[in-house]
A = this chain, B = another copy of it.
Amino acid sequence: MFEAAELGRKISKKDFDKEEPELHTRLLAVQRALRETPIPVIIIVSGVEGAGKGQVVNRLNKWLDTRGIETTAFWDESDEERERPDYWRFWRRLPARGSIGIMFGSWYTRPIINYVYGRIDDSEYERQLHRISKFEHMLFEDNALIVKFWFHMSKKDQRKQLEKENKDKRYSPLLKKFSKRYQQFAAASEHAIRLTDQGVSPWHLVEAVDRRYRDLTVGRILLESLENKLKDYEAAKHRHRGAKTAKQPTAETVTVLDHVDIEQTISDKDYDRQLKKYQKEFYKLTWAAKQKQRSSISVFEGWDAAGKGGGIRRMTAAMDARLYKTISVAAPTDEERAHHYLWRFWRHLPRAGYVTIYDRSWYGRVLVERVEKFAREEEWKRAYQEINDFEEQLHEAGIVISKFWVHISNEEQLRRFKEREKTPWKAHKITDEDWRNREKWDDYTLAVNDMVTHTSTSYAPWSLIPGDDKRLARVEIVKAACRRLEEALSKD
Contacts and interface: CB of A to CB of B under 8 A. Distances in A.
A393 to B, nearest CB: 21
Given A24-B425, A80-B80, A313 B67 contact: no
B321 A57 contact: yes
A61 interface: yes
Nearest to A57: B321
A21 B425 contact: yes
Contact of A78 (B80, B312, B321, B359): B80
Most buried by B among A72, A75, A76: A76
16 contacts: A28-B428, A53-B321, A58-B316, A66-B312, A66-B326, A67-B328, A71-B321, A71-B325, A78-B79, A79-B79, A80-B80, A104-B321, A104-B322, A105-B322, A170-B283, A171-B284
A108 to B, nearest CB: 16
A409 to B, nearest CB: 25
A27 to B, nearest CB: 8
B321 A73 contact: yes
A78 B78 contact: yes
Q: Nearest 5 pairs between A and B by C-beta?
A: A73-B322, A54-B321, A25-B424, A67-B328, A25-B425
Interface in A58-77: 58, 61-62, 65-68, 70-73, 75-76
Interface in A438-484: none
Given A53-B321, A58-B313, A321-B54, A428 B32 contact: yes
A263 interface: no
A330 interface: yes
B80 A21 contact: no
A348 to B, nearest CB: 10
Contacts of A148: none
A252 interface: no
Most buried by B among A53, A66, A280, A317: A66
A418 to B, nearest CB: 18
A6 interface: no
B61 A313 contact: yes
Contacts of A316: 58, 61
A287 interface: yes
A71 B325 CA distance: 7
Contacts of A80: 78-80
A328 B66 contact: yes
Nearest to A20: B425
